[in-house]
Structure 1
Amino acid sequence: MDAIRYIVFIFVFLIVNTPIYLQLYRVFLINKKPITIISLTALYWFGAIFTENFIPFIVVILLLYRYHLKVNRSEGAREDDLGHKADGEESYMRDINVWSFDRHSVLNVTIATLVVKVLVTIINAIYINMLSLIVKTEIQPQEVVTDFYESGFWPRFILFFVIVIFAPFVEEYVFRYFLYDKLFLPRMPRGFAAFLSAIIFTTAHYNLSGIPSFFGLALFCTYMYEKRGYFAAVTAHMVFNLSTVILLVFIKM
């Protein structure tokens, strides 16, 4: 069982960090001196190992601020002040700019997410009841949920930021932008791309009892990404995770 856990850890670590590093290299490192590339590469990977999602989160914010938002600031912009050309895939067969942020839509996204959260929770509860009839062993919650239950105040405080802030920015960048939009969409129909990225997202969370929740969240965030862009998907992911944390706090009390 420990061997499986290590394999899953390596899979999740690579599936999350490789796309972010590739973007970091393409945007910032490709024209640097070899010693700079080696140093920053080592810093990123060691930081990613020892800081959970913190270093990937910092890099994603850097990519957003210094690349995506600048490249896509004006309609039809083809390159930023660093000389990087805009990715054609970022507006692949859609009318919206996926990097625009509409603060007026936050409330609508929040309400829609909470409705989806309730529906997914009901489906997940039914699924767990059915699963318990098939699987004779005790069904375990996601590891981060167990950590949240068993941790003291400060570890739980840090976990709050990891779950509610860091994870949504990082995971939406990896699974919605890089895998779904940049990698899959140019090569397959939209439905297949959404389904495949949702499967990978669900697998990366490695929790049998939460499959409907993770899969439903992935499809919903893909829908938000398509209709309102990256930041709407991040908002939906944050609200979904925040509602879970609030529920855990009440259960803990």
Structure 2
Amino acid sequence: MISFLDLIKELIIFFIIILIPWMVFRRQILNRTKKKYVVIIFIFYVVLSLFTQNLFPFVLVLLILQKEKKRGNKEENKLIKPLGDKKFEIILFSFALKLITMLITALFAIFLVKIGIEPKQQTIVDMIQTSSWIKLVFLMFVINLFAPYVEEFIFRHIFYRNFSRKYGKTIAVLISSALFMLLHFNLVSSIATFSLGVINCIFYDKYGYKAAVLNHFITNFTSSIVLVAIKLLNNVGIALLF
């Protein structure tokens, strides 16, 4: 039976990951669609999303991006701003950041054990360790493709951008990164997740949405490759670092 805390977590995830992309999609793309059709589309969207992780929010984000591309102004619109010659620089930085956050996470895990707190793995780690290989393929898409696009759209383009206008960039970075950290609900990786949120706010500001997605992808991809290797070796202990 699901606990009250787990229920709250699921409701928060549902609102952030499923409903926010829908609200933007509804306003930008379905604004001239008849209400009854919007309701039908929404029902199908929610039901399908409940069984397919973040696949359909990812589809909505892609449709929104396509709509933005048609509007033009690539250099001024952070959502579609091209990376240009900064791509290699971002990739190198992302790998370096991942190594640093792994070290910090390891030290933090040791500290938690010393003060009597048993570190717990992220839910996605358990899913990888217990999934069949067929389901694992889908999870790789969820982690490495869908999550970076959807989460960066929500936390950087929606939350950070709007908070910046109201409260200034410093407060916006802290709030959006804290929300990003809370979404993942894991104490041992909280510093790494918060750091990723902060860096991606900076990337979004300086290079645009695509830079934040690329950094997020590299972070998740390196973790998922190691976790699959751990699954093969059946060594769950190391998985705490990811």
- Provide TM-score, normalisation by structure 1: 0.86
**1:62/1:219 Cα in 2 relative to 1: closer, same or farther (>3 Å)?**
same
Match of residue 72 from structure 1: 72
One-letter identity of the residue aligned with 1:167? A
Aligned-pair Cα RMSD in Å: 1.6
Q: Is residue 83–residue 208 contact of structure 2 (8 Å, CA) maintained in 1?
A: no
Q: Is residue 98–residue 228 contact of structure 1 (8 Å, CA) maintained in 2?
A: no
- After superposition, residues 104-183 of structure 1 pair within 5 angstroms as 104-136=85-117, 138-181=118-161, 183=162
Q: Distance in 2 between matches of 1:196 and 1:159?
A: 28
**1:175/1:116 Cα in 2 relative to 1: closer, same or farther (>3 Å)?**
same
2:208 paired residue among 229, 232, 236: 229
Q: Distance in 1 between matches of 2:167 and 2:188?
A: 30
Q: Helix, strand or coil for the counterpart of 1:31?
A: coil
Report which stretch shifted further, 37-46 or 54-63: 37-46
Q: What CA deviation, in whole Å up to 9, does each residue of 1:42-88 have, x standing for no partner?
A: 122222222110000001001101x222223466xxxxxxxxxxxxx
Q: Is residue 98–residue 226 contact of structure 1 (8 Å, CA) maintained in 2?
A: no
Q: How many equivalent residue pairs?
A: 231
One-letter identity of the residue aligned with 2:82? F
Q: Helix, strand or coil for the counterpart of 1:208?
A: coil
Runs of 4+ in 1 over 4 A off after TM superposition: none
- Unmatched 5+ residue regions in structure 2? 234-242
Q: Distance in 2 between matches of 1:57 and 1:139?
A: 31
Q: Helix, strand or coil for the counterpart of 1:209?
A: coil
1:243 paired residue among 217, 222, 227: 222
Quote the offset at 1:98 in angstroms.
4.3
Match of residue 237 from structure 2: none
Q: Distance in 2 between matches of 1:173 and 1:100?
A: 13
1:208 paired residue among 178, 187, 204: 187
- After superposition, residues 88-103 of structure 1 pair within 5 angstroms as 97-103=78-84
Q: Is residue 69–residue 100 contact of structure 1 (8 Å, CA) maintained in 2?
A: no
Q: Helix, strand or coil for the counterpart of 1:32?
A: coil
Q: What CA deviation, in whole Å up to 9, does each residue of 1:3-35 have, x standing for no partner?
A: 211111111111222221111111122221122
One-letter identity of the residue aligned with 1:209? V
Match of residue 28 from structure 1: 29
Match of residue 88 from structure 1: none
Match of residue 86 from structure 1: none
Q: Distance in 1 between matches of 2:65 and 2:108?
A: 37
Q: Distance in 2 between matches of 1:26 and 1:156?
A: 34
Q: Distance in 2 between matches of 1:35 and 1:210?
A: 43
Quote the offset at 1:220 in angstroms.
1.2
One-letter identity of the residue aligned with 1:140? K
One-letter identity of the residue aligned with 1:135? G
Q: Helix, strand or coil for the counterpart of 1:29?
A: coil
Quote the offset at 1:115 in angstroms.
0.6
Q: Distance in 1 between matches of 2:28 and 2:20?
A: 12
Q: Is residue 173–residue 198 contact of structure 2 (8 Å, CA) maintained in 1?
A: yes
Q: Distance in 1 between matches of 2:192 and 2:74?
A: 37
Q: Is residue 113–residue 239 contact of structure 1 (8 Å, CA) maintained in 2?
A: yes
Report which stretch shifted further, 236-245 or 220-229: 220-229
Q: Is residue 24–residue 63 contact of structure 1 (8 Å, CA) maintained in 2?
A: yes
- Unmatched 5+ residue regions in structure 1? 76-90
Identity in percent: 27
